[in-house]
Amino acid sequence: MLTLYFSPGSCSQASLIALEESGLAFEAKKVNFADGEQRSEAFLKHNPKGRVPALLTEQGVITETPAILAYIAAIAPAARLAPLDNPFEFARLQSFNNYICSTVHVNHAHRPRGSRWADDAAALEAMKAKVPQTMSESFALIEDRMFAGPWVMGETYSVADPYLFVMTSWLPSDGVDPAKFPKAAAHHARMLERPAVQRALAREKA
């Protein structure tokens, strides 16, 4: 049985949606950020990074969203969540998800998690002030160059879609109007129509 450790509204939502799409049996365990549960001894045993998502498998734990998403797609081939039989297309999918992980998510984290990089109050404020710009620049690149439509990779839905969905959800709190990016905004609305997305959001609220 797979167990996903998640926190509502965080990047772990992408893995939760992918699991819902996969048809795999899994358990979802909420990590309470308000109580600092991600830094508790019990959780650090699963993920010494102190972050979600963490996916417990029978072989061990997997962390890092792109790795979890690729793993889910690989063990549930019938759900067709990645172009597993086409190395080039699979690399393109990984390229997209790694851009989200290494750049877009990190842009965002400079607002709520600036203390990872600085202690100085002025430096923290400067980092926050830059987030609308960095998120807008990343979304302009996604919108103009990376997003094929109607799904991230084109006609076929993949594990890139829930990851983009989460990033688009964060735009308003990052001071960016999603309407500035009509393809990403329409993609977000399209995602909300998917039963798997609705189930994932309901699980987060439960």
Ligand X SMILES: N[C@@H](CCC(=O)N[C@@H](CS)C(=O)NCC(=O)O)C(=O)O
Give the nearer residue to ligand X in terms of CB position, either 10 or 22: 10
**Of residues 80 and 113, the one with the C-beta less far from ligand X:** 113
Is the separation of the CB atoms in 12 and 5 below 8 Å? yes
Please list the alpha-helical segments (H only) found in 76-159.
87-99, 105-109, 121-141
Query: Which residue, 52 or 200, is less far from ligand X as judged by CB?
Result: 52
Residue 54: phi and psi, rounded to 5, are -135, 130
Q: Which residues here bind ligand X, judged by CB under 6 A? A: 10-11, 38, 50-53, 64-65, 101, 105, 113
Nearer Cβ to ligand X (102/133): 102
Looking at beta carbons, which pairs linking 77-81 to residues 24 or more positions away fall under 8 Å?
78/23, 79/21, 79/22, 79/23, 80/156, 80/157, 81/18, 81/21, 81/22, 81/157, 81/158, 81/159
**Cβ distance to ligand X smaller for residue 150 or 204:** 204
| CA distance readout (Å), 61 to 95, 110, 191 | 23, 27, 28
The contacts of residue 50 (CB under 8 Å, 6+ apart) are 38, 39, 43, 44
